[in-house]
Amino acid sequence: MKFDKLLASLLILSLGSLALQPALAQNNIELPDIGDSTGTLMTPQQERELGEAFYRKLHSQLDISQDPEVNDYIQSIGQKLAASSDTPAQTFHFFVVGEPAINAFAGPGGYIGVNSGLILTSEAESELASVLAHEIAHVTQRHLLQTFQAAGRLSLPTAAAMLAAVLLGAKSGQLGQAALIAAQAASLQYQINFTRDNEAEADRVGMQILSKSDFDPRAMPTFFERMQQSTRFAGRQLPEFLLTHPVTVSRISDTRGRAEQFAYRQYPDSFAYQIVRAKLRVQTAANPRSALDYFKAVSGQGTKLQQDVSAYGLALALIANTRARDAKPILQKLMDAYPDQSHFVNALATAELETKSYPRAIQLYETALQRFPDNRALTLNYVRALLTTRKAQQARKLLQEYARRHPPTPEVYNLMAQAYSQLGNDAESHRYVAESYYASGQNRAAILQLRLAKKTAGDNFYLNSVIEERLKQLLAEEEERRKQ
């Protein structure tokens, strides 16, 4: 299975696709061999491998959030929805893209991304859930694979124009985008008809998922209406979500009619939803000062819970503005008021680290992990505190235990590399840096690090064997990429 070829097609044609990135054109991409007469495109194993390759590719082009608290939240809400789908055994992986644009998309293998801009635009947790449920429906109804097969029926000039858009993007992003627009315009009616059918089905199935997951089905048409209203002031700069998920009056009317079939009741937002939105507002602000100004402006407004969430956002903004000392009393008060909320103790320990109060930070992490065992954010920040205080052996052991329970991320690989570097094991350090690069879609950099690891491995037979085998795998992938 030539995954780079399929990936190129996916990024151009999938129903929930991202806007094309010029970096895609760095590879020599051929038109894919799509489907066969039986309608079979790929095996589940191939689809899973394609999904993993797709996710690695995204890391090299987008700001995929590495924040465990943000990731744990989006995973929790996503998995809750997926469990209520008509294929609960389907594997899903949800993640957040640190982009202000309003967008969400579904990729192969159940990889579903949502931009931080969309999370911040939502005004209720059920609105966010409605978007995720819609994307889950695209996966469970096999719309992505149907799109591959539909692409095989496009005319050769249209397919060639789309390919040109990708290739030209390497030299000129504007030229590549213009070529893509021309290609899309050439088959506009075909694309619209194809999209509308699948979007309607995703709306219907997504609403069923919402209802079964204890979220408000009315949130879907409400969010659509707000997106449509936003176009009145957007001019030609439509939100990406609307470019890939066209919202029409009839579509809003249809979803509104379906929603009214469900009994009305209140669906309160979770505390985690509000906290994560506050954190994302600080992380994605144009600059730290603007985040600070925002939370100062909303301080003291709303319910007691909303005021406390704003206080948390203010504390994070203070830390981002190198005023961690001012943030500590705010966070201490929140931690005392909400002893069952891990976000507050984690932020307080971070403030202690920023002010070089290392013993206090470590004490906070150790106490918190007794109360919140296996909390990913607390564990990884505890590791950072240990590395900061040169306790590399303890950090390495903690990371090894962590990796047995959680899929490693580029960030985890980097922490492991730091631990081995402090321990004086350069070969292992290079090896883990290589894995970080590979997980981030940077194969050539990974190969370079593996070669450095091999040079410094000495006569360690086992380590040499591991490095050599991994190097062979990556070189084989690189050779396949060159052939394409």
Sheet of 111-115: strand order equals 93-97, 111-115, 104-106
Question: Rounded mean pLDDT of 50-73?
Answer: 87
On the question of pLDDT at 67 being above 70, the answer is yes
On the question of pLDDT at 32 being above 50, the answer is no
Question: Rounded mean pLDDT of 151-172?
Answer: 37
**Domains with residue ranges and CATH for the chain:** 3-259 (no CATH), 271-483 (1.25.40.10)
The confidence score (pLDDT) of residue 139 equals 87
Q: Is 459 a catalytic residue?
A: no
Percent of the chain with pLDDT over 90: 57
Question: Rounded mean pLDDT of 147-168?
Answer: 39
Higher-confidence position of 103 and 414: 414
The confidence score (pLDDT) of residue 200 equals 84
Distances (CA, A) of 138 to 14, 205, 290, 373: 10, 9, 37, 35
> For residue range 6-29, what is the model confidence (pLDDT) as tens digits?
444 444 333 343 333 333 333 333
Do 103 and 121 form a contact (C-beta atoms < 8 A)? Answer: no
The confidence score (pLDDT) of residue 321 equals 98
Cα three-residue angle 40-83-211, rounded to 5 degrees: 110
On the question of pLDDT at 234 being above 50, the answer is no
On the question of pLDDT at 190 being above 80, the answer is no
> For residue range 324-352, what is the model confidence (pLDDT) as tens digits?
999 999 999 999 999 999 999 999 999 99
On the question of pLDDT at 460 being above 50, the answer is yes
Give the whole-angstrom CA distance, residue 245 versus residue 239. 10
**Reported confidence tier of residue 242, pLDDT bands at 50, 70, 90:** low
**Reported confidence tier of residue 414, pLDDT bands at 50, 70, 90:** very high
Other C-beta atoms within 10 Å of 415: how many?
24
In one-letter notation, the amino acid at residue 34 is I
Q: Is 354 a catalytic residue?
A: no
Question: Rounded mean pLDDT of 98-118?
Answer: 88
Query: Average per-residue pLDDT in the chain?
Result: 81
Lowest mean pLDDT across 47-56, 196-205, 315-324, 401-410: 47-56
**Reported confidence tier of residue 66, pLDDT bands at 50, 70, 90:** very high
Q: Could you say which of 4, 67, 125, 203 is catalytic?
A: 203
On the question of pLDDT at 379 being above 90, the answer is yes
The confidence score (pLDDT) of residue 195 equals 66
Q: Could you say which of 127, 135, 352, 354 is catalytic?
A: 135
